[in-house]
Amino acid sequence: MIGKMLGNRYEIQEKLGGGGMAIVYKARDTFLNRLVTIKILRPEFTSDDDFVARFRREAQAVASLSHPNIVNIHDVGQEDAIHYLVMEYVRGDNLKNVIKQKGYLEPIEAVRIAVQVSEALEHAHQNNIVHRDVKPHNILITTEGRAKLTDFGIAMEATSSTITRTDTIMGSVHYLSPEQARGETATPKSDIYAVGILLYEMLTGKQPYSGDSPIAVALKHIQETPLPVDEVNPDVPTELANVVRRAMDKKPELRYRNAGDLARHLESALEDTGQNTVILPVVGTELAAAPGAKTSDPYQAESAETADHQKEAAIPKTWTWIAVAVLVIGLMVGGVYGFFNYMDVPDITVKNVVGMTEAEARAELEALDLGVKVQEKYDDEKEGIVIAQDHGPDDPKVKPQRVITITVSKGQEMMEVPELLNRSVSEAVVLLDQAKLTLTQPPAYQYSDDTEKDSIIEQSPAAHEKAPRGFAVRITVSKGPEPKMQTIPDLRGKTLRDAASILSAKNLVLNEAEAGYEDSTDYPANRITSHTPGPNTEVEEGTEISVVLSRGPGPVEKKVNVEVKDVIPDDGRVHSLEIVVEDLEGRKLRYADSHDANDKVRKKITYLGRGVLQVFVDGELVQEEELP
C-alpha cells in the first residue's frame, strides 16, 4: 500500500499499526498539503457485510461529533475493494505506551487525561453515541499533552440495539463493564466503568483484573472486587481513590450519573487534597454578656409589666401543688424499688448453641430464661442447623428475657443448571452467571466429529439438574474433527513447485513466504537443502513445512562406468535391458536395449550430487545401488 494514491488525493506514506478490523497508515492530503491518518478495512473483511457495516458505522458515529478531545474524521471512501476512513493525524503516542514507558502516572497527570476523556465521552453520549471500547490503546496523547479519543469501530447509538452479542464479547475484555460481560445493554455508564478501569491502570501501572483467558477476566469483572487503588499505590489521595471506586462500581446505578459528573468529581478530588480541614469551636446555647452590655435576646426585652402579669397567671393553687408532690414522691419510691429489684437479678452467660438443631438451641436458651428470635439463611451447613448467634458465651453476661437472635441454615441454595450443549464458552459464562453458577476454568477440550469447533459437547451437571449456588459447572469443548496424521516425505533436492505439489497431495502446507537460503555444494541453486519438520516425521494434516533453499554454487557433475553382467536369464532368448539413474535432477533413463545372457554391457553414466542406479530386465528391478 505504501505509495498508493487513494481517491486521487491521499498518498500513503507509511504504516502506523493495525487492529483486528483495520490497518492504519500515515498519508499526505495532496489537495490541502497536510498529513492525515487513513484507516483501511482489512482485505479479508471486505466481503463480510457485518464488518463493512461496522466500519461505516464508525464513520457515521464520529462524523456527528465535534470535540477537541475526539479525533476528527475528514473523509470516507471506497476504491475498488478498499474501504477507508480519512482522519485527523495526531502527533504523539497512545496512552498504553505512555503508561508502559512511565510505569504509572502521577495523580495530577492521570486526572488531567481522565477528565479530557470524560469530557469527550460526555459529548458523545449527548449525541446518543456509546463508545463501548474505551481503553488506553484508543486514547492518543499529543506532543502538547492533549488526550484524544479514537477508534469508534464498535460504537453504536444508545438504543436497544446496544446489547452486546453473546457469541462475541465486544470491546477489550480488561476494560469491559460487568453488564457487557453478561450480554446486557451497553449504556453511557458502561463507558464510565471503562474510565474507572483506565484510571486504575494509570495510577498503579496495573490492570485491576487479569487472567489466563478472556473468559476468566470477564468473570472477574462480574464476580470479584479489586484491591483499592490507594492500597496498590499509597501516593494516590483517598478522595481520588473514592472516585475510582465509584466509577468502577459493578452496579451501573451506583456509578456517576454521566461522564461530565465524573469529570467534575475528578477535578474536585485533587482540589480537596490540597486543603486543610478547619475545626470551628463549639458555641453553647447560652452566651454571657459583659456587664452593662445590651443583650440581643429578644425574649429578654420583655417589659416589666408583661413579666409581672405572667408571674401572676403562673401561680398554681395550693391543693394542686400538694397533689403533684405526692404523685412525684410515689413515682420516685416505686422507681427506686423497681430499679434495685432489677439490679438484684443474677446475670446470665449465654450458651453457645452453634451446631445444634433449631429445636435444641431454642430449648437451651429458653431454659436460661432467654428469648429466641430465628432468622434463616442459605449455607453449606445441613438444613436446620444453627450457624450463628448474635450473642454468645464470650460476650458480656445478659439479664433474663434478653432476646438472642440465632441464624439457622436453610441448606445450600439449589439452582437449576442451564442447557449449555452446542453453545460457545462465552454464551455459557453468561447463562451460568444468570443462574448464579460459575464455570470451571479452564474447560476441557476434545476432538469431535459431530460438534463444530469451539462448541460445548458435554456438561456436568446435566441441563435442568440442581446444583448449589456458586457451583462450578464442568464443560468439554469441541476441538472439531480429529486431524489425520501424515508422514513428511524427503523434500531435499526438490524445487519449491515440486515440494508444494507433493505436500498438497498429503494435505500439508509449504511455507514459501519464509523460505531461508544457505550456501550449498550438494544441491543446485533454488533446490531444497533441508526442511522442518524433517523427512519421515509424522504430523497433523494442515501442518506448515518450513524449508531452506540452496544459494549455490551447487554440486559438480560426476561420471561413473557401469558394467551390467549376470542379470540376463540364460534361456536362449533376448530380453529388454534398461538402466535408470535418479539424481538431483530427477529420474532419467540412461540406457535401453535388448540383450541375451552372453552380452556384456558397459556404459558411462553422468549424474549430479547423490545418485541411485537401477537396472531393469523385462521391466523388473534386478539391481540397485547408490552411486559414489
**Could you tell me which residues come within 8 angstroms of residue 48 by beta carbon, excluding any fewer than 6 positions away?**
none
Task: Determine how many CB atoms are found less than 10 A away from the CB of residue 425.
Answer: 19
In whole angstroms, how far apart are CA 458 and each of 102, 448, 477, 583? 47, 11, 7, 55
Q: How far is CA 27 from the centre of its chain?
A: 33
- What is d(CA 524, CA 584) in angstroms, rounded to the nearest whole number? 8
Grid coordinates given for 608 = 549430479
Between β-strands 10-18 and 139-142, what pairing exists: parallel, antiparallel or unpaired? unpaired
Handedness of CA 477, 480, 484, 485 (dihedral sign): negative
Taking the C-alpha atoms of residue 299 and residue 312, their distance in angstroms, rounded to an integer, is: 18
Nearest CA to 378 out of 502, 469, 459 is that of 469
**Which phi-psi region, left, alpha or beta, contains residue 171 (left: φ > 0; alpha: ψ -120 to 50)?**
left
Interior/surface letters 80-110, b for 16+ CB within 10 angstroms, e for the rest: eebbbbbbbbbebebbeebbeeeebbebebb
Q: Quick check: is 133 catalytic? A: yes
For residues 110 and 199, is the Cβ–Cβ distance under 8 A? yes
DSSP 70: B
Report the b/e string of 281-311 with b at 16+ CB within 10 A. eeeeeeeeeeeeeeeeeeeeeeeeeeeeeee
Catalytic annotation, pick one of 29, 133, 191, 433: 133
Strands 516-520 and 544-553: parallel
DSSP letters along 147-181, please? EEE---TT-EESSGGGBPPSSS--S-GGG--HHHH
Question: In whole angstroms, what separates CA 479 from the centre of its chain?
Answer: 22
Which of 124, 200, 128 lies closest to 158 in space, CA to CA?
Answer: 128
Rounded to 5°, angle at Cα 251 from 250 and 255: 95
Q: Which residues are tagged catalytic?
A: 133
